[in-house]
Amino acid sequence: MEKNKEKVTAGVKEIARLGKVSIATVDRVIHNRGGVSKKTKAKIQSIIEKLNYQPNVLAQRLALTSRGTIRLAVLLPAISEETEFWQAPLDGAKQALDEIKQYGIHIEQFLFDQNDQKSFSKQVKNLIKFKADGILFTPTFPEESTKLIERAEKTGTPYVLINADIPQTDTLCYIGAEIFSSGYIAAQLVHYCIDEKKKVLVANIAAEIDNNYAILRKEEGFMNYFKDNNLPNEVLSFKTTQTSYSSVSKRLSGLIKKQNDIGAILVTNSRVSVVAKYLESAGLKDIILLGYDFINENITYLKKGFIDFLICEKPQEQGYRGIMALFQYLVFSKPMEKKYFMPIDIITKENYQFYRN
Amino acid sequence: MEKNKEKVTAGVKEIARLGKVSIATVDRVIHNRGGVSKKTKAKIQSIIEKLNYQPNVLAQRLALTSRGTIRLAVLLPAISEETEFWQAPLDGAKQALDEIKQYGIHIEQFLFDQNDQKSFSKQVKNLIKFKADGILFTPTFPEESTKLIERAEKTGTPYVLINADIPQTDTLCYIGAEIFSSGYIAAQLVHYCIDEKKKVLVANIAAEIDNNYAILRKEEGFMNYFKDNNLPNEVLSFKTTQTSYSSVSKRLSGLIKKQNDIGAILVTNSRVSVVAKYLESAGLKDIILLGYDFINENITYLKKGFIDFLICEKPQEQGYRGIMALFQYLVFSKPMEKKYFMPIDIITKENYQFYRN
DNA sequence: CTGAAAGCGCTTACAG
DNA sequence: CTGAAAGCGCTTACAG
């Protein structure tokens, strides 16, 4: 390999030489640590600017290695029979950990039952006992989450919300989709796929609905598309807190028998596979079915042709970015972005095999 | 911040201590550099395994900083009036450079006119003169590209192809979409959006078509979807090497007057905005229009509703990943993936604002 | 075949 | 307010 020997960037040493000071002083100026005379500070700053100095991140990190472990807490729903969705953010967090564990990062998991508020509260308590340096979580239960946030702000602990934000709250950092849009675009797809005379069914299948901001907001986005575009399609609503297949299929079949002109069904969360299973058993191939999340059961029905579109928001990347944001913030004081909106991906039978969660 | 002082991972020093050798010897064993007695080597290896030693990448890189500059060459089409598409991979390469320039990486650009084979050949010559340590390029002209590859393989220079592969050639590393699928999925969308009685038009608008593998392969994918699914839609073909608006619009309007039942048009590359402009001027709002690439002109017509779907394959990320792969390969001997398929993204009016190229 | 020492660019006690 | 020195974990001449 042919190589040059010239330096690409000047370092603290060079700045110190030009400024006729020690590198310790240069470091003080760079990081505004104080204890430097105005005159020296100005001189060094001007040199830094002239040289367009860029710190060597490698060396920075290396020098900090000995500082001890940083403890991050992850508070997310456990995966359940109902859905494996939450595996993805956890995988993302682990992937991040692999990249940064060398720098003394430790992650502790606090998993709760997403249908049980008490289990959430309990894990919040454990988390507080753990005294994390940073927190990654999803606000499944808004009230308890708000308490956690208040506590974190009091102790100055940085935190990142993923997957869903808390409405009307000024959270430190949210990484996830703009949920309204994520419902809105589902409606656009329906609009492309069905006739104006057909009816549309919105199905909310979750143990907890009224308190579930993500579901409500998605539905809102969905309905608004029809309003905004003056579409004449009749939109029906279907809600159930009984998420088992037997219960859902029974209620669905009753509804579909009454309403004969349903052209499309949107399931507002990852439980779309339950509906797909019903459509398969009932032989209803012509209804366009849309839902959320790239999980195995859903992919199965996507392949079979019973699910037509899955909308996904890279949950794994959300976990990954969340941990990385905390890391960068804690180690390099890098400010966190208030809102980092993930892309809203459209997955079909023909592109799912290339998708990266 | 609460912190632990315990080490997460043992380093070479600890291994040296346990093995009663110097760290230089440990290093020799780790990297198989030779010059170590069998006995010592075995001893050290067993310690390394027992400790599950993971090298500190930071320190590795830092120690290599002084080794001099690595020179990477980027060979891509220049952006032109015709299309700004190639800005994205270049931006990606620059983004990668920002992250790694501290480690002595230099990038030289060789831009050519994608409608002029001679300009490609000329830049290949310049590139060879440059004596790059690694090459990132797109094989716009397959024959010349093959020559470049042969030369690179002879000199042992690693190279990465982006955006399009060379068919039937065993290239070292390809980063981009599976192009056939990228046409196939366009057909799926058409299938969802139009009636069986409607006709479909495939438009190839490019100065060079017969030699353009990407366009041909996309069209193949598109046609195959209709075949595979026994769709009755008549598929018409439209080809022109005159890419200007005046020429395209004239020919299109002639064709559309003759064929009155066109329900959808697919443009096989980024020139879809030209067709959109025509549809706008002709007031043809009901024709579904699909094309490729997230570029400004296309987004404009997406917003206006004349383009319905854009299919994108993250060109910026392709450039980014390409440079990173070369960097990792040259600096850390990390083997390159033979094929890294990008996701095939579907962009509409309602999700484009969250897209990350 | 092996080791002592210098260096990568930064941060951090510590001394003055 | 300022500087000399040690250290982060690794690599690399150089000496033996």
Looking at the structure, tell me whether residues B37 and B134 fall in a common domain: no
Q: Looking at the structure, do residues A43 and A74 belong to the same domain, yes or no?
A: no
Give the separation between CA B5 and CA B21, rounded to whole angstroms: 26
Domain boundary among B65, B93, B117: B65
Task: Say whether both B80 and B15 belong to one domain.
Answer: no
**Which structural domain, as residue segments, surrounds residue A217?**
179-312
How confident is the model at residue A335, as a pLDDT?
82
Residue A355 lies in a domain: no
Is B349 a domain residue?
no
Percent of chain A with pLDDT over 70: 97
- Per CB-CB distance under 8 Å, the chain A contacts of B104 are 3, 8
DSSP B207: S
| pLDDT (mean) for B236-254 | 94
Phi then psi dihedrals of residue B200, to 5 deg = -125, 140
Residue A161 placed within a domain: yes
Residue B104's pLDDT is what? Answer: 78
- Residues of chain B in contact with residue A67, where contact means CB-CB under 8 angstroms, are 3
List the 1-40 stretch of B: residues with Cβ below 8 A of A.
1-6, 8-9
Q: Are residues B185 and B305 in the same domain?
A: yes
In this prediction, residue B61 has a pLDDT band, given cuts at 50, 70 and 90, of confident
Average of per-residue pLDDT across A56-69:
80
* Three-class SS state of A141: coil
When pLDDT is averaged across residues B321-347 and rounded to a whole number, the result is 91
Within window 32-91 on A, which residues have Cβ closer than 7 Å to strand C?
Answer: 53, 55-56, 59-60, 62-64, 67
**What pLDDT score does B8 carry?**
56
Q: What pLDDT is recorded for position B178?
A: 96
- CATH code at position A30: 1.10.260.40
Q: Is residue B348 part of a domain?
A: no
The Cα-based distances of B324 to A2, A158, B138, B328, B338 in angstroms read: 19, 31, 16, 6, 14
Cβ within 8 Å, pair A348-B348: no
Claim to verify: residue B329 and residue B283 sit in the same structural domain: no
The verdict on B192 and B300 lying in the same domain is yes
Interatomic distance A4 CA / C13 C1' (Å): 37
B chain contacts of residue A349, beta-carbon cutoff 8 Å: 188
Q: Quick one: pLDDT band at residue A262, thresholds 50, 70, 90?
A: very high
CA distance B200 to B219: 12
- Domain assignment present for residue B13? The answer is yes
Same domain, A221 and A321: no
Q: Is the pLDDT of residue B226 over 60?
A: yes
Interface of A with B in 251-280 (CB under 8 A): none
Does the pLDDT at position B278 exceed 60?
yes
CB within 8 Å of chain B, chain A residues 299-338: 308, 330
Among A36-40, A56-60, A71-75, B194-198, which stretch is predicted with the lowest mean pLDDT?
A56-60
Among residues A205, A73, A86, A77, which one has the least CA distance to residue A141? A77
Tell whether the model's pLDDT for residue A14 goes beyond 60. Answer: yes
Residues A201 and A273 occupy one common structural domain: yes
Residues B212, B305 within the same domain:
yes
CB B244 within 8 A of CB B207: no
Q: What is the average per-residue pLDDT within A5-22?
A: 80
Of B301, B211, B201, B207, the C-alpha closest to B260 is B201
pLDDT tens for A168-197 read 889 999 999 999 999 999 999 999 999 999
Encoded tokens for B84: 């700004």
Residue A107 pLDDT class (50, 70, 90 cuts): very high
Regarding whether A185 and A292 lie in a shared domain, the answer is: yes
Residue A333 has pLDDT above 80, yes or no: no
Query: Per-residue pLDDT averaged across A153-166, rounded?
Result: 94
Chain B, 110-169: which CBs lie within 7 Å of strand D?
none
Rounded Cα distance between A87 and A293, Å, is 12
Whether the pLDDT of residue A3 is over 80: the answer is: no
Percent of chain A at pLDDT above 90? Answer: 75
Q: Check pLDDT > 80 for residue B7.
A: no
Amino acid B100: pLDDT: 81
What confidence score (pLDDT) does residue A94 get?
Answer: 94
**Taking the complete model, does pTM exceed 0.85, yes or no?**
yes
Nearest chain B residue to A134 by CA distance is B1
Cβ-proximal residues to B220 (8 Å cutoff; 6+ apart), any chain: B180, B183
Q: How many Å from the CA of A6 to C1' of D11?
A: 19
Same domain, yes or no: A119 and A14:
no
The torsion angles phi and psi of B89, rounded to 5 degrees, stand at -60, -35
pLDDT score of A5 more than 70: no
Report, as an integer, the average pLDDT of A329-340.
85
User: With 90 as the cut, is the pLDDT of residue A81 above it?
Assistant: no
CB < 8 Å to A345, chain B: 343, 345-346, 351
Q: Which of residues 101-130 of B touch A (CB under 8 A)?
A: 101-104, 106
Distance measured from the CA of protein residue B24 to the C1' of nucleotide D16, in angstroms:
15
- Position A62 confidence tier, pLDDT thresholds 50, 70, 90: confident
In the three-class reduction of DSSP (H, G, I as helix; E, B as strand; rest coil), residue A328 is classed as: helix
Question: Is position B350 within any domain?
Answer: no
CATH of residue B238: 3.40.50.2300
Asked if residue A242 belongs to a domain, the reply is: yes
Q: Closest to B70 (Cβ–Cβ): which among A3, A133, A350?
A: A3
Indicate whether B138 pLDDT > 70. yes
Q: Of A65, A90, A115, at which residue does a domain stop?
A: A65
pLDDT at A251 over 70: yes
C-alpha span between A54 and B308 (Å, rounded): 44
Confirm whether A55 is domain-assigned: yes
Q: Which residue is nearest to the C1' sugar atom of C11, using CA?
A: A63
- Chain D: positions less than 7 Å from a protein CB are 1-5, 7-14
Q: Which among A5, A106, A185 is the nearest to B351, CB-wise? A: A185
Rounded distance, CA B26 to CA A195, Å? 71
Helix/strand/coil for B236 = strand
CB atoms A8 and B106 under 8 Å: yes
Domains held by chain B: number: 3
pLDDT band per the 50, 70, 90 thresholds, residue A8:
low
Name the residue with the least CA to C1' distance from nucleotide C6: B63
What is the gyration radius of the CA atoms in chain B, in angstroms?
A: 26
Q: What is the DSSP string of B65-107?
A: GGG--EEEEEEEEPP-SS--TTHHHHHHHHHHHHHHGGGSEEE
pLDDT at position B58, please? 80
* Residue after which a domain boundary falls, among B65, B86, B111: B65
pLDDT at A7 over 70: no
Supply the pLDDT for residue A6: 43
pLDDT band at residue B4 using 50, 70 and 90 as cut-offs: very low
pLDDT at A101: 79
pLDDT tens figures, B69-126 = 789 999 999 998 888 999 999 999 999 998 787 777 889 999 999 989 999 999 999 9
List % helix, strand, coil for chain B (3-state, nearest 5): 50, 15, 35
- Chain B residues with CB inside 8 Å of A330's CB? 1
User: Is residue B131 domain-shared with residue B42, that is, in the same domain?
Assistant: no
Is residue A61 pLDDT above 90, yes or no? no
- Residues 33 through 92 of chain A touching chain B, CB cutoff 8 Å: 54, 56-59, 61-62, 65, 67-71
